[in-house]
């Protein structure tokens, strides 16, 4: 299995109180645990079960994901530009691994 690669699309600068769109995607199989291999054995579940976006230190958006979310889970959501700060995106995988990205946003 390949290492999940996360990517985000965020505007570099936004005006205060403006709504901006974030697109976040991670390359991931999202193995449901419902499939069997050629020997008839169940392939264990391994999905990204949570995505969190923090702005500064505050959690501003969270998604709990289940098996029915497609492979390479994609999320598009909207945030309010409040202040200059760091956006942190993290994806949590079954088994406890997390994958994170950071993005500094300039609010004018």
Partner 1 sequence: MSLTRRHMLASTMATVACAVALLAPKHTRGADEAEDFLFRLTGRKATPSNRLRLMMPAEFSTGYTVPMSISVDSPMTEADHVKSVRIFAPKNPLVEVAQFHFVPGRSLPRVSTRVRLAAPQHVVALAEMSDGNLLMATAWVAVATNGCL
Contact set with partner 1 (CB under 8 A) = 19, 32, 34-35, 55, 58-71, 73-80, 82
Q: Give the tokens for residue 93.
A: 């995988």
27 or 82, CB closer to partner 1?
82
Could you tell me which of 54, 38, 43 has the C-alpha nearest to residue 90? Answer: 54
Whether 24 contacts 10, CB under 8 Å: no
Nearer to partner 1, 55 or 99 (CB): 55
Q: How far is the CB of 30 from partner 1 (least distance, A)?
A: 8
Burial class (CB in 10 A: 0-12, 13-18, 19+), 39: exposed
CB of 77 to partner 1, least distance (A): 5
Q: How far is the CB of 90 from partner 1 (least distance, A)?
A: 14
7 or 62, CB closer to partner 1? Answer: 62
**Beta bridge mates, 70:** none
Q: CB nearer to partner 1: give 76 or 104.
A: 76
> CB 20: neighbour CB atoms within 10 A?
15
Least distance in Å: CB of 72 to partner 1?
8
């Amino acid at each position: 299995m390949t290492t999940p690669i996360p990517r985000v699309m965020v505007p570099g600068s936004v005006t205060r109180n403006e709504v901006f769109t974030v697109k976040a995607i991670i390359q991931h199989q999202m193995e449901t645990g419902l499939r069997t291999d050629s020997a008839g054995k169940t392939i264990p579940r391994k999905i990204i079960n949570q995505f969190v976006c923090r702005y500064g230190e505050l959690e501003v958006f969270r998604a709990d994901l289940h098996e029915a979310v497609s492979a390479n889970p994609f999320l598009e959501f909207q945030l309010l530009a409040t202040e200059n700060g760091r956006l942190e995106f993290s994806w949590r995988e079954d088994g406890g691994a997390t994958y994170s990205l950071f993005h500094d946003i300039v609010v004018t």
